[in-house]
Amino acid sequence: MPEMLTASQAAEMLGVDKRTILRFARDGKLRSYRTPGGQHRFRRVDVERLASGDDARPGASLVQAKHEEVQLLKLEAERRRAKRELDRIEAEDREAAEKARSVDHERKESELWTRASREAEAEFQARARQRCENIEAHARGVCEDMPCDAPSEVKTEALRRAREALIQLGDDYWDSGAFDPDPVLTAWDAAAKVYQQWRKREERQAAERARRQEIEGLIKEAPGWLPWECRSILHPTEWEIRAKREARAAIAALPTDCSLDDVRLEAQQAVQRVAEEYRRKEAEILQRKEAARQIVEGARTQAQADEVKRHDRAARTSADARIAQSKAQSQADRLLSHVRQLIDEACREDVDLELDPWERHERSERIKKQLRPKFVEAFLRGELDEDVALELIEEAVDREI
């Protein structure tokens, strides 16, 4: 038993209230100790001494009697609790034993059911394997006798159909072993349908390929129905390309079940329309060429007439220019004829000038040679009159002598 008691335990030993114990501790009648948490603790010897009346506390015998009564009640309560706990443990033991017996019974039944299920499942799996082996053997045996030129996907489909037909006979059919109807015939019928469909599809595709080849031949032949003027040997012309395109479009518009004669007729009509368009455009081109030729011819005639007029005008202009040139030269020569006269007058007036006739002539010719081109050009432009020209001559003579 612990040496230290709580306030509740001390109150229970003394048969008093907990607040009375705390008051005893506060008044010093019962020594107490404090825990780090601030709780009161009492030594058992101190509590027992107080309960025995060693402290000469009034009413100690009453406390002792109450204490003994409380102890008896506690013992009775402990006995009852122990009896209830014992009854509970016995009931739990009985329930556990019953549950163990039930679990054991269920386990044995489960083992029996599992063993039976495994045996049934094994038997079912064996029958299923046997059925699958029989179905696979009959299906493959039938498909091996089918045409060998069929593609792999057709063979695979035929094998699948044969398996499905054999499976539809049912499990009872294969388990009985009677095999009525014959599984070989059943598988053969299912696979034969696949091969017949494949044959029909191949024949239809072959017919379609032949038809397409004939149609392509007609389209290639279409440019030959055009006039020879719009065809070429080296490279296809625009009209040949259009003939092919129009023929192809006309054939595409026809129903798929029409005859080849109708296809040819429709292609020829389409090419005929292209040829008519070519003739119409050629006629328009010829008309435009004729109109252009007439325009060019008129322009050529007009150009010739303009050339004649221009030539006449140039001739007249050249004649006028020559006349004006002649007049200007004559006028310049007439004015320059005064140069020698002016030189002679200057020599007579200035006695210091001793120029012989030859020197006078040379100077006169030099002045004429300098002034004549300028005078002719100025007279042609109308920029010089005779008075100014005479003044220029006099200045030139003065500079020379």
Please state the rounded mean pLDDT for residues 321-333: 82
Amino acid at 279: R
Q: Which residues does 324 contact at the CB level (< 8 Å), separation at least 6?
A: 380
Residue 128 confidence class, pLDDT cut points 50, 70, 90: confident
Of 72-76, 121-125, 376-380, the range with the lowest mean pLDDT is: 72-76
pLDDT for residue 56 = 41
Residue 61 confidence class, pLDDT cut points 50, 70, 90: very low
| CATH 1.10.1660.10 residue ranges for the chain | 4-111
Report the alpha-carbon angle 64-67-69, nearest 5. Answer: 115
Question: How would CATH label the architecture of 4-111?
Answer: Orthogonal Bundle (1.10)
The residue with greater pLDDT, 399 or 69, is: 399
DSSP states along 272-292: HHHHHHHHHHHHHHHHHHHHH
- Predicted TM-score (pTM) of this structure: 0.37
pLDDT for residue 34 = 74
pLDDT (tens digit per residue) in 224-282: 888 888 888 888 888 889 888 998 898 888 888 888 888 889 888 988 998 898 889 88
pLDDT (tens digit per residue) in 174-208: 777 777 777 778 878 888 888 888 888 888 888 88
Instruction: Give the 3-state secondary structure of residue 40.
Output: strand
Sign (positive or negative) of CA dihedral 315, 321, 325, 326:
positive
Amino acid at 385: D
Please state the rounded mean pLDDT for residues 298-313: 82
Q: What is the mean pLDDT of the chain?
A: 81
Please state the rounded mean pLDDT for residues 337-344: 80
pLDDT reading at 351 higher than 50: yes
> Tokens 């335990």 map to which residue?
9
Which letter does DSSP use for residue 151 in this model? -
Task: For residue 33, give the H/E element and its range.
Answer: strand 33-34
Residue 58 confidence class, pLDDT cut points 50, 70, 90: very low
Tokens of residue 367, six digits: 């002045």
Tokens of residue 294, six digits: 């007439």
pLDDT for residue 367 = 83
pLDDT reading at 33 higher than 80: no
> Tokens 């010089």 map to which residue?
384
Sign (positive or negative) of CA dihedral 27, 32, 36, 38:
negative
pLDDT reading at 96 higher than 70: yes
Q: Which residues does 194 contact at the CB level (< 8 Å), separation at least 6?
A: 154, 157, 158, 161
Q: Rounded to an integer, what distance in angstroms lies between the CA atom of residue 24 and that of residue 52?
A: 15
Amino acid at 341: Q
Q: Rounded to an integer, what distance in angstroms lies between the CA atom of residue 49 and that of residue 282?
A: 150
Residue 18 confidence class, pLDDT cut points 50, 70, 90: confident
Residue 362 confidence class, pLDDT cut points 50, 70, 90: confident
pLDDT for residue 37 = 66
